[in-house]
Every structure is written in C-alpha cells, then in structure tokens.
Structure 1
Amino acid sequence: MIGFDRTRRWGCDVGEWRTDPAFAMCRALWDGAELSSFAGGPFDVRTAVAAIPSEVKDGFLLDQVPWEYFPEGDRVREAVHLLHTNDSPVRIGAGVVDGMCANDMRAAAVLAVPFLIRIAADTRHPYRAGALSEASSPARARYFGVASRDELLLHRADTQDGDPYGDYGVEVTGYPAGWSVSAARAAITTDIALLQPLLGDPDPSIRIHAAYTLATAADHDRAVRASLQDRLAAEQDPAVSAALVLATAEVTRTHPHSPTIAWMRELWRQQTQAPEVRLAAAIGWLCLTDEPVPDDLRAAVDDLATDERAHAMNALPWMAIASGSEETGLQRCVRKMLHPDQPDPPDCDDPWAPRR
C-alpha cells in the first residue's frame, strides 16, 4: 500500500492528477458548480459503465473503454490487461483495483468490474479467484471496523435530504463517491447471470466471493436471493454456508422481505445447523431488525463465538472488513451488536496493525 506524503494523495500523484481530464470537473465542483450539470456526461462513470457494449466486455476490447476520463484510469486499464493476459500476479492486476478502492479512489476501478467478472467466470484462468475477490470492491464504501447493526450490511443511498453527494461524500480526488458505488452496483447487476453459476464452483473461495459480489446487486425480482438460498440448501462447507447467509441478509437489507427475516431468525435457533451458519444468521437478523436482542440469541452467540471460530470466520470478507487490529470481525460484531456500551479496544481502528 502506498502511503501518504506531501507530493502524493493516497497513491495518486498530485501533478499527474491535475492533468487528468476529470480534474476540471472536480475543480468546478469545488468552486461551487452543481453536480447535476455533469450527470450523464463524459465524466459520469455511471453513464460510462452503462455504455460499454457487451462485445467490448466479452472481447476485452479495453481500448474502447473511456479510462482516460477518470483518475488513474490508464493504470487500471493496464492492470486489467496484464491480469487478462496472465502477465501479472493478482497483487499487480486485481490488486490495483483493491488498492485504489482502499485509498478511496473508485471511479476508474469501476470500469474494471465487468472485466474482472469475466476473468472470474473463465474456469481456465489462473487468477480468477483473485479477480473475483476484487470485483465488488468499488461497489462498497469501505469503512474498516464498522460492525454495528445499523451499518454492517447497509447499502447507503446515493442522495439524502437533497444532498447530491449522499452519504458517500467525495473521493480523495474530489470525485463524487456515490456515483462510483452506484455504477459498480449497476455493473454487477448487469452480470448477475455470469455470477450465479459461480455459487456452485468447485473452489470454496470462488463460492464465497460470488456470494459477496452478488450481495451488492439490485434484486428487485428476488432472483439473487433465491439463488443464494437454493445454493445454501446444497452447500456442505460451513464457511461458504455462512457467506450465503450473510449475502442473503445483505440483499434483504437493500430489498426488505419479511419472510426472509423470519427465516433468518429460525436459522440461528436451529441447533442442527453448523455454528458458522447460526452465527451468520444471528448477525444477519440483528442487521435486519431493530428489535431488542433476544436472550436465546445472546446465549447462542456466547456459546458459539469461540476465539478459534472467530479467527476462522475472518476468512469471510464481511468479517475481514469489520475487524480491527485487536479484534476479529466476529468479535467486533458481537461487541458492537450485543454490547454496544463497551468501549473499543486500544488502537483497534488501525487496519494494518498485527492482530493479536
């Protein structure tokens, strides 16, 4: 990860950024221009992603994608090219997307999403797991250590109370982050049909990240939720099953469905279920309701959330993002959701510190 100094803004060279075409838009916004005046134009990544033809995505015709309109777009394009042609390990290919999102620069990374999904769907590609693990990065505003009932599975709106930037605000470059997140989710929704078969992939990590990616898609017809629950009925791996439960909860948070909330409550009560599934269902149910924590849920979580299981469940991306330097994601979720009055451990907000 590239650090911050006086000449770089979280990995983006200031001199290079000022020559980027999108800088003019961001400068205009800083000077008071209305964001709506740029909607639908060349610097609107939502429009840019929606306009990429299927043949361009399927054929990896990267030169026909407007990378140059977004901060460090050329860098992302080169990373996708290297990853697609097997000329780069994941840390240089898909890792560029992950790194930019972690550094709060999603706009250009969004353009990579359709290509990352296609790499993941190629069963012959050696880096497909890494590509899929980063495909949903631009679709989430990453806040390390967020594990409360109100925010763990929350998909914030693009706008709120008349604020055109919504809850996401701006990226470090000044680009509207809500546009990036919205565009990424739309790209994933467009490719639901490519992602759903990956729920049955032989590789457990592929199945986990397919669920994690599908959880960000729009699901107005409930097809995503149905595919997650169908796969859960056949899944034998407890960690993957837990991922399917959390993905179902995340989709339901975006598209409320009372029968699913009731199903999730019954799931954490079923002692025949794997502990990982019951814990995931308990967390999911808590995020989907504002009801007081039932005594039997507290008892179940206290019994099942062992240190060993908490560390094992940190392999799930939801838990990894929720974790801090002193806590696993599960431990933090338990503390924030069941014991919200307890203070944070010292230094637990440093995501790079070694975990004890």
Structure 2
Amino acid sequence: MTWCENDPAYRTVAQAFLDRDPEEHAGGPLDVRAVMALLSREAKDAFAYDDVPWSRFPRGPQTRDDVARLRCDDADVVYHALRGVNGELADSAWSVAAPAVPFLLRVAADPSGHCRAYALELAAGIVQWTPGPGRCTRDELLRVTDGGRRYEPSGYFGTWGIEAAREAIAADADLVMALLDDADPEVRVAAAYAAVVASGRIDDIRGALHTRLCAEHDPAVRAGLVLAIAQLAYEHADPACEAWAKALWSDPATPPAVRVSAAPGWLCLTDSPVPDVLRVVLDACATGETAQVMAPLPWMRAADYYGDTGLRRCLRGLLRPETVEPLWDDPWSSPPALV
C-alpha cells in the first residue's frame, strides 16, 4: 500500500475531486480559499500555525511541521524548512503551500529572522508562473499565471491554492509594501516580486513600487522594481506604463540596468515590432556587467536553468524567440542562497 492510499486526507480529496466538479466544494471545508479566509490577523501575527486545519489536505501535517520551524534561531533549520515548503510546491501541492503564505511573510518582516528574501520569494512562487527556457517571449515573460486549471497529484483542484496564495498576499499587502523599504536590498527585490501577485490593492501596490523606485539607489533593486511595475501592468492594465517603460529605455541618462530591464517590460506591453533603436540600446547596455547586476533578480534566475545568464536568455527569447531551447520546467532547480 502506498503512502497516499494510507493517507486519510488523500483518500478524502480523491473521493471529493476525482471525476467531480470542484465547484461542488467551493466555500466548504476542502476549499483552501475558504480555510484561509477564516484565519484571523491575530492568529497570523501570533504565528498560530496550528489554527490552520493542515490535516484536511494531503501532505498538510508535513507542511505544518516545516512552518513550525520557520522561527528557529538556527538559520540552517529555517533554510531547510523553507526547502520543505518549496518541495511541496515543486510537487504541485499548492493547497498546502498556500496556507504557509501568511507565516512566510511574517518571517520576512522580522528583522531578526533568517532567509527573509527566500521566504518572500517562496510566497510569490506559489503564484508566479516560472517562465523558464522557451517561455521568455513577449507573451509569456511577465505573465503571472498561465490561466489554465491546475490539479494536484491527489486530484485536488490546485487552482484554489494559487488563488488562496494571491488572496493571502493581498490581505497582507501593507506588510509586503513596507518591506519595499527594508534595509536589505535582496528583501526589497523579493518584496516587489511578491507584491505583484496579490489579488487586490493593485493601485496601492503600483504606487508603492513607483515611490520606492524614486528613492532607490541600488542598481539591481531598481532593475527589479522596473520589472515588477511592468509585470503589474501586464496583469492589470495600466495604459501609462507602456510609454513610461519606453521613456526609461530611451533615455541615455538612465542607468544601464534600468534601461535594460525597461526594455523587456516595454516589449511585453506592446505589439509593436522591435525598433532598431532598441536593438542599439541593448547592444550598448546589455553588457556582461549589466547581466551580472541583474543575475540575482528572481525573474532572471527563473530563466537561467542551463548556467547561461538569465538576461541573455530573456533577451534571446524576446528578440529571437525561434532560437530558444525547447520547454523544460525544473521545479527542483537550485534555490536562493542561504541568507
């Protein structure tokens, strides 16, 4: 007998969802969105992870144990706990990864916490559709989700887990936006990456990203903020963003990393042919130095499966999509470094 046949939650989910319409359970005890909506802010702030009914979902108790270790004083323990949650996500178990989101955000918000940027990226990663090789195109690079219906190996309707994660980030949008001003530049980038997948507070998030960009001096963070603003505009129409991105890459006084990050943003927001002047800008600015500056950005790391620079791969997909490699998704690719 396999572990899943011996798991009561797995059997319950299989009986409820296999060959059934998920909407029959919408709003019920197996709808992770409804479960998360019942979790109070007080419980989140108190890190009361046992208020989540983990046992209703396959692999829930294991994820609960990983969440319980997120506030350990030992950075290595926290890192491996995050890897545990990431493992569930890699196995397409969105239903148990999503309830971890409020606690991941609070780990990131604690200045004395460990692996804070990784925690934020993991919260975002439940939603962010990892582009990867072959998907660095104008139609796909900044897409948050692929829009398809997702199912987990258990048969659970995984789309609900993704929606629950988006709603959880929106519910804590104030916390995420505050992290845009964090002292750690890696946390600021990760906060931008997480903010853009929220299901609500879009105008507030857009304003916070622009405000941070005006005050930001770190070139990598500035590049990440530009990509985040463009991604938000791609998901939630912002008519002014196309002209804004073009103005950035067109301006010789703008730092190279910002010009280069604005170029993919503009290309994804318009159907216009690639102008020769943009190719000239990229030839001049997309140097090895710029690629090194942008390499830590999660958008770049998501595309850097083969050891090539993420920037080079992204630009190749945007400008010459016929040259990119076949699709290959590797959810077990190397995580962010321990911080």
TM-score w.r.t. the length of structure 2 is 0.90
Once the 2 structures are TM-superposed, how far is the Cα of residue 350 of structure 1 from its aligned partner?
A: 6.2
Opposite residue 309 of structure 1, the aligned amino acid is T
Q: What is the percent sequence identity of the aligned residues? A: 40
Matched, 1:208 2:196: no
Q: Which position in structure 1 is the counterpart of 2:215? A: 234
Asked whether the equivalents of residues 49 and 183 of structure 1 are also in contact (C-alpha less than 8 Å), the reply is: yes
Once the 2 structures are TM-superposed, how far is the Cα of residue 295 of structure 1 from its aligned partner?
A: 1.4
Say which of 90, 93, 99 aligns to 1:105.
93
Q: Which position in structure 2 is the counterpart of 1:151? A: 140
Asked whether the equivalents of residues 7 and 58 of structure 2 are also in contact (C-alpha less than 8 Å), the reply is: no
Say which of 23, 28, 38 aligns to 1:51.
38
Provide closer, same or farther for how the CA distance between residues 214 and 352 of structure 1 changes in structure 2, counting only shifts above 3 A.
Answer: closer
Asked whether the equivalents of residues 141 and 181 of structure 1 are also in contact (C-alpha less than 8 Å), the reply is: no
Matched, 1:323 2:311: no
Asked whether the equivalents of residues 192 and 225 of structure 2 are also in contact (C-alpha less than 8 Å), the reply is: yes
Measured in 2, the distance between the counterparts of 1:213 and 1:59 equals 22
Q: Which position in structure 1 is the counterpart of 2:279? A: 298
Measured in 2, the distance between the counterparts of 1:171 and 1:281 equals 36
Measured in 2, the distance between the counterparts of 1:56 and 1:350 equals 35
Q: Which position in structure 1 is the counterpart of 2:156? A: 175
Q: Which position in structure 2 is the counterpart of 1:61? A: 48
Structure 1: segments with no counterpart, 5+ residues: 1-6, 8-13, 158-165
Asked whether the equivalents of residues 20 and 70 of structure 1 are also in contact (C-alpha less than 8 Å), the reply is: no
Once the 2 structures are TM-superposed, how far is the Cα of residue 79 of structure 1 from its aligned partner?
A: 1.1
Measured in 1, the distance between the counterparts of 2:330 and 2:48 equals 40
Matched, 1:76 2:63: yes
Q: Which position in structure 1 is the counterpart of 2:337? A: none
Provide closer, same or farther for how the CA distance between residues 106 and 143 of structure 1 changes in structure 2, counting only shifts above 3 A.
Answer: farther
Once the 2 structures are TM-superposed, how far is the Cα of residue 253 of structure 1 from its aligned partner?
A: 1.1
Measured in 1, the distance between the counterparts of 2:328 and 2:289 equals 19
Opposite residue 264 of structure 2, the aligned amino acid is I
Measured in 2, the distance between the counterparts of 1:81 and 1:241 equals 34
* Matched ranges for 1:88-167 at <5 A: 89-145=77-133, 146-156=135-145, 167=148
Opposite residue 150 of structure 2, the aligned amino acid is G
Provide closer, same or farther for how the CA distance between residues 23 and 250 of structure 1 changes in structure 2, counting only shifts above 3 A.
Answer: farther
Matched, 1:198 2:186: no
Asked whether the equivalents of residues 324 and 351 of structure 1 are also in contact (C-alpha less than 8 Å), the reply is: no
* Matched ranges for 1:18-37 at <5 A: 18-30=6-18, 32-37=19-24
Runs of 4+ in 1 over 4 A off after TM superposition: 347-354
Matched, 1:39 2:26: yes
Measured in 2, the distance between the counterparts of 1:124 and 1:135 equals 19
SS of 2:148's equivalent in the other structure is: helix
Measured in 1, the distance between the counterparts of 2:332 and 2:37 equals 35
Asked whether the equivalents of residues 224 and 261 of structure 2 are also in contact (C-alpha less than 8 Å), the reply is: yes
User: 1:64-99: CA deviations, max 9, x gaps?
Assistant: 111111121111111111112335533322222222
SS of 1:24's equivalent in the other structure is: helix
TM-score w.r.t. the length of structure 1 is 0.86
Measured in 2, the distance between the counterparts of 1:349 and 1:316 equals 18
Measured in 2, the distance between the counterparts of 1:117 and 1:343 equals 35
Once the 2 structures are TM-superposed, how far is the Cα of residue 126 of structure 1 from its aligned partner?
A: 3.4
SS of 1:92's equivalent in the other structure is: helix
User: 1:98-150: CA deviations, max 9, x gaps?
Assistant: 22222322210110100111111111223433322322121224353331111
Matched, 1:260 2:241: yes
Once the 2 structures are TM-superposed, how far is the Cα of residue 185 of structure 1 from its aligned partner?
A: 0.6
Once the 2 structures are TM-superposed, how far is the Cα of residue 59 of structure 1 from its aligned partner?
A: 0.7
Provide closer, same or farther for how the CA distance between residues 314 and 20 of structure 1 changes in structure 2, counting only shifts above 3 A.
Answer: farther
* Matched ranges for 1:236-251 at <5 A: 236-251=217-232
* Matched ranges for 1:269-308 at <5 A: 269-308=250-289
Once the 2 structures are TM-superposed, how far is the Cα of residue 212 of structure 1 from its aligned partner?
A: 0.6
Opposite residue 344 of structure 1, the aligned amino acid is E
Measured in 2, the distance between the counterparts of 1:338 and 1:226 equals 30
User: 1:40-81: CA deviations, max 9, x gaps?
Assistant: 111111111111111111111122111111121111111111
User: 1:164-199: CA deviations, max 9, x gaps?
Assistant: xx5142123322221111110110001010111111
